[in-house]
Amino acid sequence: MNSIVNQISYGLLFPPNVMLAAFVLAVLLLFFKRRFLAGLTFTLGFLWVLAWSLPITTLYAGGWLESRYSFQPKMESPTVDAIVVLGGHVQGNRANWFEPFDKNAVVSRESRAAALFLAQRAPLILLSGGALEGNVSDTATMARSLRRLGIPADAIIEETQSQNTRENATLTDQTLRSLQKKRVLLVTSALHMPRAMAAFDNTSIKALAAPLPGQIRWKTSFDKSPWQPDLQTLLASRSVTKEYAGLVLYWLQNHF
């Protein structure tokens, strides 16, 4: 039930969904001859979509989330009991949010975990994430990638039941407590890290952030302005609004 509520909450903030809801509500208000409210509702919905279609909005809102936990080179990361990798991917692991996907420039969560393992930061890797679609879990896909990267199969643990970040934390906690492991490096995208750390704060695990490099960067070589509306930026805004919605939900669940 919580997973369904979370997905609905995240979806309600996605700008195209907001615009659609605003349009429907405006039509209803017109039907009841509330022209001012109808106009105001439609205008606010339009402004929400316009704002999130501008790269500058993502640069500030998403950039702030990414800056909460800084990237550390593998040899500067602390030694811990385990490396925990959360399932799910943001913007296809593209190197830069505002550039087309380039498979040769991908920095994946599993490659980050493999680098930390091979640098002897921890003796095992725990993968957390169930199947959101179909029958193949995120962990199964990541486990195959880790083995290709030279990680021994007996150093990989898979938690395959979690459906969201809160469950990632809870089920990982249960798994690691059974192994008497507590101190971990937490691997996920820089954008997702604040919400992930908030979830793990409610467990017995001592999680230390080991985010991927930030993706939200503007280059002077771009042939466009960050103030120019962009469809790719608008569609990608789902990831940013989802993180803020998740943080608000966590705060409400912890205080009420």
How far is residue 141's CA from residue 119's CA, in Å, rounded to a whole number? 22
Name residue, tokens 């979370």. 6
Q: What is the pLDDT of residue 89?
A: 63
Q: Which helix (H) or strand (E) holds 193?
A: helix 193-200
DSSP 256: -
At 72 the pLDDT is 94
Buried-state track 35-54, b at ≥16 Cβ within 10 A, e below 16: eeebeebbeebeebbebbbb
Quote the pLDDT of residue 221.
85
Q: How many CB atoms lie within 10 A of CB 144?
A: 13
Question: Of 179, 186, 188, which Cα lies nearest the Cα of 208?
Answer: 186
Q: Among 6-20, 206-220, 222-236, where is mean pLDDT lowest? A: 6-20
pTM, two decimals, is: 0.89
- pLDDT (tens digit, 9 = 90+) per residue, 236-253? 898 899 999 889 888 887
State how far the Cα of 141 lies from the Cα of 144, in Å rounded to an integer.
5
Q: How far apart are CA 189 and CA 28, in angstroms?
A: 41
Please give the pLDDT value at position 220: 85
Residue 8 has pLDDT above 70, yes or no: no
Domains and CATH numbers, the chain: 2-64+231-255 (no CATH), 72-209 (3.40.50.620)
Q: Which of 87-96, 159-168, 231-240 is least confident?
A: 87-96
Residue 90 is predicted with a pLDDT of: 46
First CA to last CA distance, the chain: 18
